[in-house]
Structure 1
Amino acid sequence: MKITAGLGSVDDYLPYVEAGADEFFCGYVPYEWMKNGGLTYPLNRREVLYYNVQIGSESEMEILAALVRRKKKIVTVALNGLFYAPHQYPMIEALIKRLFHMGFSTFIVGDMALLVFLKKNLTVPAEIHVSGEMSESNHIMIDEMRSLGAKRIIFHRKVTPQEMKSCIDYQKMQYPKQPLEYEAFALNELCHFTGAFCSSLHCDELAPACRLPYRLIRTEQADILNYKRQPDQADLENAVENFVLGQSGCGLCALWQLRDAGITHIKLVSRGNYTADTIEDIRQLKNALNILEKSTCEKDYKKQMKSRLFANDCSHNCYYITEN
């Protein structure tokens, strides 16, 4: 499996490559988009301009394209808004063409109507990855996305490894000579929402609803009526000061199951995170994959991974529930 990391600044590309990332995804909001729609219609689900979440300008995209040609580690451009106004579809088509000729050949799409529009109108051979914001969850949806030109399916956060395996096995059986790539979340930004049904803003002025403090527990392990404690300010300050691998979401225990399911790429959510933290995330995720390769069974993998990557204890903020 390959590591796909979020890129929030052109300056981070080389350090992330050196840390071990295999490819990247980024956001970019051109001036004409701001002029005609602003952030009312998010181009890539990040209504953010003032910190390292977006690539800042077309000139920076040109620099990034030159780095990609040099290092051969692709950058996929996210165009994964949930919906757009009708007049904006030709604008997105023109943006894809401009970026394609600049050197960016892959794009993440999260709007089914945009997929249909691009299938009918796009004249450059761009590769389309279907965003987890599309909420794909069964083989019928994946069949439809395949027919619209999708080359990679990014499973959303609420799909289990078992469900991924069911979808992938069906695709392998039905289309043995036309394989797709499959991507799953592995580290950071676990969210209690399903992206396709989330209307929260991710902007400069307001904290998104997914940042609200909460605690996830098994219902059979606690008396819900008596479970009232929520993380207080001291908890939040302690979490900021003491970096823990996967503290905002971790799927490392599930890597064995994800590999067996047929996942080809694992996503490290990192747009907007501190550069030093992301470098460490990439290194540790690379270490987890190396442990995975050398492990003889799932139990052995988890034991070795936890003992080597977590000094004391893990975050317990699990993407996927697996048996210990």
Structure 2
Amino acid sequence: MKITAGLGCIDDYKVLVKAGADEVFCGYVPYEWNKKYGTLFPLNRREVLYYNVQINTFEDMKILRRMVDVYKVPVSITFNYLYYLEEQYEMIAKIIKDLMNIGFYEFIIADIALILYLKENNIKCSIYLSGECAELNRLSIDFFNKLNISRYIFHRKNSIEDMKSCINNNEMKNLEYEAFILNERCHYTGAFCNSLHCDEMIHLCKMPYHLSKVSEYANNFEEVDRRLELYYKELDNKYNEEIYMENEDEMEDSYIFGKTGCALCSLKELEKAGITHLKVVGRGNSIENMERDVRNLKKAMDMLDDTEDSESYEKVVKDKLLHGKCNGECYYSTRRI
């Protein structure tokens, strides 16, 4: 299995490569797109401009290509939005052709219509089906095989059994399969989520909520309001604490491995299921934390060969990487190690 990690700016590439990433993915949104469509029609579901989530100039992409030539770790480009306007396909095709002209040939795409558009216009690139497309079962895989997909990226809500069934029943061989392994575990399925991830508003997936029976819904506004009040109070406290710590030059290490999503305990099962690539979500994350994520994941992968079964592997991971603790943010396993 190989590690694929997300970057938010070209400076992150060298750091991730040296940490042990076998592949890198990034978003590219040129100025011309932002000028015409703004953040309401994002290319890759990252409408953020305030911090480094994607690359915004073609010159930076040229520099990144030169870095790939030196370090030999490939980069794939994301086009993760669920759908585009008809008038946008021509512009997207031009962006892709420009990237291909400088040496980028792998693209992560979620919109089936865009995949068909590229095929009909004879734009021959390598397509990784985005997890935002939500391939659910072997029947959906059979359909997508007609589109010359070279890699399937399973979405967050696939179980390992689902993935295994899709892989084993796929008549197309020598394909690649990617699964989420670290960060950004979400309670939504990307293909059915129409929220924005922008600077102006808090991400919907981070809003506090309250689960209850539908018949009791009308009685829960008070509880939701209470949670919202607590949430914003915690934000204010955190902000004030950070300002204080910066002034005192005593910034503490807040890194927690797998804090927002972790599948380390399922690594053995993912390998047996036929997963070839492990996704470390990282666009917009601290590069220092991403570096540690990749290094720690590399250590966990080394432990696979030293253990015979899942039980012994989980114990080793618990003792050596998680120090006996589990944050409970498991992607696939119902067990807690």
Q: Same fold (TM over 0.5)?
A: yes
The answer as to whether partners of 2:153 and 2:179 remain within 8 angstroms in 1 is yes
Which residue number corresponds to residue 198 of structure 1? 193
Local SS of the residue matching 2:59: helix
> d(CA) in 2 for partners of 1:311 and 1:213?
29
**What do residues 277-320 of structure 1 show as CA deviations (whole Å, max 9, x unaligned)?**
00000000111111112211111100001111113512111111
Which residue number corresponds to residue 186 of structure 1? 181
Mean Cα deviation higher: 142-151 or 281-290: 142-151
Q: CA deviation at 1:41?
A: 1.1
> d(CA) in 2 for partners of 1:41 and 1:29?
11
**What do residues 71-93 of structure 1 show as CA deviations (whole Å, max 9, x unaligned)?**
11011000111110001111111
2:195 pairs with 1:210: no
Call closer, same or farther: CA 1:69–1:311 in 2, change over 3 Å: same
> d(CA) in 2 for partners of 1:51 and 1:261?
37
Local SS of the residue matching 1:54: coil
Q: CA deviation at 1:211?
A: 1.7
Which residue number corresponds to residue 272 of structure 1? 284
2:66 pairs with 1:66: yes
Which residue number corresponds to residue 47 of structure 1? 47
Which residue number corresponds to residue 160 of structure 1? 159
**What do residues 153-195 of structure 1 show as CA deviations (whole Å, max 9, x unaligned)?**
0000000001100010001xx23xx321000000000000000
Local SS of the residue matching 1:313: coil
The answer as to whether partners of 1:24 and 1:76 remain within 8 angstroms in 2 is yes
Matches within 5 A, 1:1-324: 1-123=1-123, 125-171=124-170, 174-175=171-172, 178-213=173-208, 237=238, 242-323=254-335
Call closer, same or farther: CA 1:19–1:10 in 2, change over 3 Å: same
- AA aligned to 1:83 is Y
Q: Sequence identity, in percent? A: 48
> d(CA) in 2 for partners of 1:214 and 1:259?
35
The answer as to whether partners of 1:161 and 1:257 remain within 8 angstroms in 2 is yes
TM-score (norm 2): 0.86
The answer as to whether partners of 2:318 and 2:324 remain within 8 angstroms in 1 is no
> d(CA) in 2 for partners of 1:315 and 1:25?
26
The answer as to whether partners of 1:119 and 1:149 remain within 8 angstroms in 2 is no
**What do residues 25-74 of structure 1 show as CA deviations (whole Å, max 9, x unaligned)?**
10011122123222221100100122110113111111000001111101
The answer as to whether partners of 1:128 and 1:151 remain within 8 angstroms in 2 is yes
> d(CA) in 1 for partners of 2:166 and 2:152?
10
The answer as to whether partners of 2:31 and 2:56 remain within 8 angstroms in 1 is no
The answer as to whether partners of 1:253 and 1:322 remain within 8 angstroms in 2 is no
- AA aligned to 2:190 is G
The answer as to whether partners of 2:27 and 2:54 remain within 8 angstroms in 1 is yes
The answer as to whether partners of 1:26 and 1:76 remain within 8 angstroms in 2 is yes
Aligned residues: 309
Local SS of the residue matching 2:305: helix
> d(CA) in 1 for partners of 2:42 and 2:82?
8
- AA aligned to 2:102 is M
> d(CA) in 1 for partners of 2:158 and 2:166?
10
**What do residues 182-210 of structure 1 show as CA deviations (whole Å, max 9, x unaligned)?**
00000000000000011110111112111
Local SS of the residue matching 2:169: helix
The answer as to whether partners of 2:183 and 2:261 remain within 8 angstroms in 1 is yes
> d(CA) in 1 for partners of 2:332 and 2:312?
18
Call closer, same or farther: CA 1:158–1:199 in 2, change over 3 Å: same
- AA aligned to 2:33 is W
> d(CA) in 2 for partners of 1:3 and 1:58?
26
The answer as to whether partners of 2:45 and 2:80 remain within 8 angstroms in 1 is yes
